[in-house]
Amino acid sequence: MLRPDMYNRRVEDIMSKVEWSVEPLDPLSEALGKMKKYKVRELPVMENGKLKGLLTFRTLARRRKVAISAHVKSFMISPPKVKTTDKVYKVAERLITRDFASLPVTHKSDVIGMISRRDIIKLLKEDEVLRNSTVESVMNFAPTTVSLGIGMKKALTLIDLSGETSAAVVDDDGKFMGSVTTKDLVTFLESPRNRPHKGDFHGEKSKRDRTIDSITTTPATLSRTDPFYRVIDLMIKNDTPIIYVLDDNELAGSINEVDILEVFLKGPARGGPLIQIAGIDDVKLMDVSELNGLISGYVSKLERFISVSSVTVRIRHHHHDSDDDKYTVNVKLMTSTEVIVREAYDWDLSVAIGTAFDHIEHQVKKEKEIKNDKKRKRI
């Protein structure tokens, strides 16, 4: 539990100024250039100082074909509204549940600033209790991993589906070999020698798919027993959203920006588990409230068997030339003791979501039956 005054802080106390933006008629090539140069994944779309929308790298990366000469307005989305008087912890929840790294702050339709995960994390560093907690008390015990020797395009797909911006690289024995980022993967795939055909953003027509070995780097790491404040220090110093945790040379876990914000959100009373939905900006069949209601129903059903801490649902929309589109749904459910991840796909988004939760329910029931059998045998 953080200091009570942390939950009274307002957006105007920590927001940053708007440093980069694009206009609706700017070409995507210009927007992508700014994202790469300034290391940002979202850009406010503005016209005469007024907010018109938000352009996200995630939206572009999930499209099979994107012409870089196309206008920004064709791909921008409507972001959640943030006011200067909003409580910071409320905005932290919006950033997590809608899977944004930053959001524009507006007064009416005028853009007056930006607030990011990193801004909030810097604020949390002020809390003495959190500063002196251990890394192990916050870390995720099931980080995203890819195997050494995997192809670059396959690695990019796996990392994108996980919702992360990087993945730990491990060998066949599970030894930590380093990490690979989506930025490095995209940079390689878009280099002149490997550049995809015109209009094909991911380069699916490119014949070469070299392994990730050549772009695997050695990131800064910590141990389980290190004080938590070192996580924030390393994130800021190295400008990275994730820190890996090792036991000797073995990968033990990771801490990313969402893990830290979830600690913040444990303070205010909540009406149930934290539900994060990623990829909703690319779904046209349901709005956020409808999708959240559907997922909440499945979570409530599962809570008859286990106590759920949080649920992350990641939706990947496979665009096709026909009217029939396909969806892949990845559901990660966390309890106090385990992480359960299941995946399903279907032409119908609601069916794909239901199937993934059905897989989780089947596993949970099976594990409960095994525990009950062991209890009966001891009697």
**Per residue in 109-158, pLDDT tens?**
899 999 999 999 999 888 887 888 889 888 888 788 999 999 998 898 88
Bridge-based pairing state of the strands 274-278 and 310-318: parallel
Q: What is the pLDDT of residue 203?
A: 46
- Output the CA torsion sign for 253, 164, 212, 185: negative
Q: What is the pLDDT of residue 141?
A: 80
Q: Bigger pLDDT: 234 or 142? A: 234
Q: What is the pLDDT of residue 99?
A: 83
Cα 352 to Cα 359: distance, rounded to the nearest angstrom:
11
Helix (H, G, I), strand (E, B) or coil at 120: helix
Residue that the structure tokens 């309890």 belong to: 335
Rounded mean pLDDT of the chain? 84
Q: Bigger pLDDT: 59 or 342? A: 342
Cβ atoms of 330 and 343 closer than 8 Å: yes
- Tokens in use for 265? 């959100």
Cβ atoms of 280 and 98 closer than 8 Å: yes
The per-residue pLDDT for range 242-268, each reduced to its tens digit, is 999 999 888 999 999 988 888 887 766
Provide mean pLDDT across the span 157-161.
80
Cα 196 to Cα 360: distance, rounded to the nearest angstrom:
38
The per-residue pLDDT for range 64-105, each reduced to its tens digit, is 567 788 999 999 999 999 999 999 999 998 898 888 999 999
Q: Strands (DSSP E) along the chain, which ranges?
A: 42-47, 50-56, 102-107, 110-116, 145-147, 166-170, 176-181, 221-222, 242-247, 250-256, 274-278, 310-318, 326-334, 339-346
Across-strand partners of 329? Answer: 315, 344
- Is residue 279 predicted with pLDDT exceeding 50? yes
Q: What is the pLDDT of residue 15?
A: 95
Q: What is the pLDDT of residue 267?
A: 64
Residue that the structure tokens 């920006």 belong to: 257
- Is residue 2 predicted with pLDDT exceeding 80? no
- Is residue 349 predicted with pLDDT exceeding 90? no
Q: Bigger pLDDT: 209 or 60? A: 60
Q: What is the pLDDT of residue 201?
A: 47
Backbone angles phi, psi at 210, to 5 degrees: -65, 160
Q: What is the pLDDT of residue 180?
A: 94
Say which range, 28-32, 217-221, 287-291, 371-375, has the weakest mean pLDDT. Answer: 287-291
- Is residue 289 predicted with pLDDT exceeding 80? no
Cα 98 to Cα 275: distance, rounded to the nearest angstrom:
9
Q: Bigger pLDDT: 352 or 290? A: 352
Confidence category of residue 342, pLDDT binned at 50, 70, 90: confident
Say which range, 110-124, 193-207, 211-225, has the weakest mean pLDDT. Answer: 193-207
Cβ atoms of 241 and 40 closer than 8 Å: no
Confidence category of residue 30, pLDDT binned at 50, 70, 90: very high
Which domains does the chain carry? 4-124 (3.10.580.10), 129-261 (3.10.580.10), 271-378 (3.30.160.100)
Residue type, 295: I
DSSP code at position 139: -
Q: Bigger pLDDT: 125 or 375? A: 125
